């Protein structure tokens, strides 16, 4: 059972290595995460220019959060596994791990949004672990030590953005709906 799971993860790692889309996927993931907030922006009756501004800034900040996570993974890989590399080289190899984030726009779905968000972010983390094993030969246990600090840092930055900007939009919308009742 455990060997079949390990073989499946190794096959998934080989497939991800073949995709090799690089760091450019960061902007797509950031835009998808930003688009999940579009409904609240529209409901708050913002003008199109304001909506575009919010979405672009959010996409860039979210992309930056993942980029900081990738740089942290790179530094940890150098420290823990002794693999000397440039962060951009590592980012180009590991960027494909973020592809589940392209579906983050689905987090706008009511009632199941938290489950979708947690699933997608866990999938991204699993992809990083699998790629560390496929590209650098790092065992999954050591890969967890290497990738966990960057993953947590990315989640904290994303959480801060959600808490600060997005929750304010949802609270404004809730107040307006409550005043209509």
* pLDDT at 19 (0 to 100): 53
Q: What is the pLDDT along the chain (181 residues), one digit of tens a residue?
A: 767 777 766 666 665 555 556 667 778 888 888 888 787 777 777 889 988 998 888 888 888 888 888 888 888 988 988 887 777 778 777 888 888 888 888 887 777 888 888 899 899 999 999 989 988 889 989 999 999 999 999 889 888 877 766 666 667 767 776 777 6
* pLDDT at 98 (0 to 100): 86
* pLDDT at 85 (0 to 100): 78
* pLDDT at 82 (0 to 100): 85
* pLDDT at 25 (0 to 100): 77
Q: What is the SS3 assignment for 34-92?
A: HHCCHHHHHHCCCCHHHHHHHHHHHHHHHHHHHHHHHHHHHHHHHHHHCCCCCHHHHHH
* pLDDT at 146 (0 to 100): 92
* pLDDT at 123 (0 to 100): 93
Tell me how far apart the alpha carbons of residues 100 and 152 are, in angstroms, rounded to a whole number: 17
Provide the residue range defining the domain that includes 43: 2-180
What torsion, rounded to 10 degrees, do the Cα atoms 116, 117, 123, 125 define? -170
Count of positions (residues) in the chain: 181
Please count the structural domains in the chain: 1
* pLDDT at 46 (0 to 100): 80
| pTM recorded for the entire structure | 0.76
* pLDDT at 122 (0 to 100): 92
């Amino acid at each position: 059972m455990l060997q079949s799971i390990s073989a499946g993860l190794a096959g998934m790692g080989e497939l991800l290595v073949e995709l090799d889309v690089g760091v450019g996927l960061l902007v797509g993931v950031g835009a998808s995460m930003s688009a999940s907030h579009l409904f609240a922006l529209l409901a708050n009756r913002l003008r199109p220019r304001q909506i575009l501004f919010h979405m672009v800034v959010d996409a860039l900040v979210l992309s930056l959060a993942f980029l900081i996570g990738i740089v942290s993974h790179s530094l940890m890989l150098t420290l823990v596994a002794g693999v000397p590399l440039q962060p951009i080289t590592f980012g180009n190899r590991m960027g494909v791990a973020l592809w589940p984030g392209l579906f983050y726009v689905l987090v706008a779905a009511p009632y199941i949004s938290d489950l979708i968000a947690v699933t997608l972010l866990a999938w991204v983390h699993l992809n990083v672990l699998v790629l560390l094993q496929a590209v650098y030969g790092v065992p999954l246990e050591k890969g967890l030590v290497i990738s966990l600090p960057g993953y947590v840092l990315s989640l904290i930055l994303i959480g801060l953005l959600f808490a600060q900007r997005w929750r304010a939009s949802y609270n404004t919308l809730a107040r307006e709906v409550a005043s209509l009742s």
